[in-house]
């Protein structure tokens, strides 16, 4: 029978083998340094993160294309992680509705321990593969869904369990970690391992590892939305104008896309119930609001395609 002490010893050995957990003796007296010097060192550490992400771009792009293909068929993008990794997934998911006018159920963030774990650590939740399976089953997974397990170490049971369970259900799976040869990448169809090296503070993987994960999640959601027609060029044409800033931004986006004056922009937005993409189409395609809505529906929401079709109206 394995004792609790033996179990901790095994886990300690696993952690000591991970790049993200490595101890850096050269920083052992960092607390003695002036604040400005610590800030300089930390800034230098962060500067290497984009290069580590760049090394994974081919795998990131392949994962995005596979995700977009499924979301175009009605699938969802689902993030699953514990601690910082889980919170980053929830953050990315929560920003998609106001940015791309997606339904809140289209991009979902799951964090081990549930919503309360966003602000308070839920002890032991990250060690429960069964919790990941339960959380995913509550969403009724389909083969068109994509599940992204996020874990700096690449060994977190909740993240690995989420990917394994999702793959068994036929969903597309992506494993995002910050260590090479991780269990998470091995379990997923698309493994993304952004190796950023040891942290400034040993074991504090909310630092470089967290930054790397945020950069990759930015790519996964943003480029997927570009592929789904949520933008027109680099304009955020599916923005949801839910506050004064976004209402002003909506008018600016219509102006940038069309070159129209304020009066024409206001008329177009009024005719389309404030929908930016539709307003642009009424101006550039010289169609009315209902026709713009129909053309966009027929073009699966892709404004460029709808504009091409408007020329045959």
In the set 95, 129, 189, 266, the catalytic residue is: 95
**Two tokens, residue 265:** 């922009």
- Per the annotation, the verdict on 10 as an active-site residue is no
- DSSP 8-state assignment for residue 176: E
Distances (CA, A) of 50 to 42, 63, 205, 213, 216: 15, 18, 16, 11, 10
CA 10 to CA 29: how far, in whole Å? 29
> Comparing C-alpha atoms, which of 77, 80, 96 is closest to residue 88?
80
Q: Where are the alpha helices (DSSP H) in the chain?
A: 4-16, 35-47, 49-54, 57-71, 83-100, 129-137, 157-168, 183-187, 208-227, 244-258, 262-271, 276-284, 289-298, 303-310
Catalytic member of 45, 56, 126, 275 = 126
Query: Could you identify the residue written with the tokens 């909740």?
Result: 158
d(CA 152, CA 170): 25
- Annotated active-site residue 29? The verdict is no
Catalytic residues: 95, 126
């Amino acid at each position: 029978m394995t004792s609790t002490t033996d179990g901790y010893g095994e886990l300690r050995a696993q952690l000591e083998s991970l790049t993200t957990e490595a101890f850096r003796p050269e920083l052992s007296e960092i607390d003695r340094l002036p604040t400005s010097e610590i800030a300089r060192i930390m800034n230098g550490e962060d500067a290497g993160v984009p290069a580590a992400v760049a090394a994974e771009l081919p795998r990131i792009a392949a994962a995005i294309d596979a995700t977009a293909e499924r979301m175009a068929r009605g699938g969802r993008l689902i993030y699953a992680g514990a601690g910082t990794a889980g919170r980053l997934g929830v953050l990315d998911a929560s920003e998609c509705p106001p940015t791309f006018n997606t339904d809140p159920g289209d991009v979902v963030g799951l964090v081990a321990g549930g919503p309360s774990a966003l602000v308070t650590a839920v002890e032991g939740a990250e060690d429960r593969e069964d919790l990941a399976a339960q959380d995913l089953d509550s969403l009724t997974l389909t083969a068109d869904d994509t599940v992204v397990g996020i874990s700096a170490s690449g060994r977190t049971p909740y993240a690995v369990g989420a990917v394994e369970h999702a793959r068994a259900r036929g969903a597309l799976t992506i494993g995002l970690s910050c260590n090479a040869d991780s269990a998470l990448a091995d379990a997923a169809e698309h493994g993304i391992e952004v190796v950023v090296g040891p942290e400034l503070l040993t074991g504090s993987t909310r630092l470089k590892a967290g930054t790397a994960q945020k950069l990759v999640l930015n790519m996964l959601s943003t480029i997927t939305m570009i592929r789904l027609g949520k933008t027109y060029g680099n304009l955020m044409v599916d923005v949801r104008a839910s506050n004064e800033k976004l209402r002003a931004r909506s008018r600016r986006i219509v102006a940038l896309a069309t070159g129209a004056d304020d009066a024409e922009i206001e008329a177009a937005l009024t005719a389309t119930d404030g929908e930016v993409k539709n307003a642009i189409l009424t101006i550039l395609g010289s169609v009315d609001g209902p026709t713009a809505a129909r053309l966009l529906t027929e073009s699966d929401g892709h404004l460029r395609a709808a504009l091409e079709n408007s020329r045959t109206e």
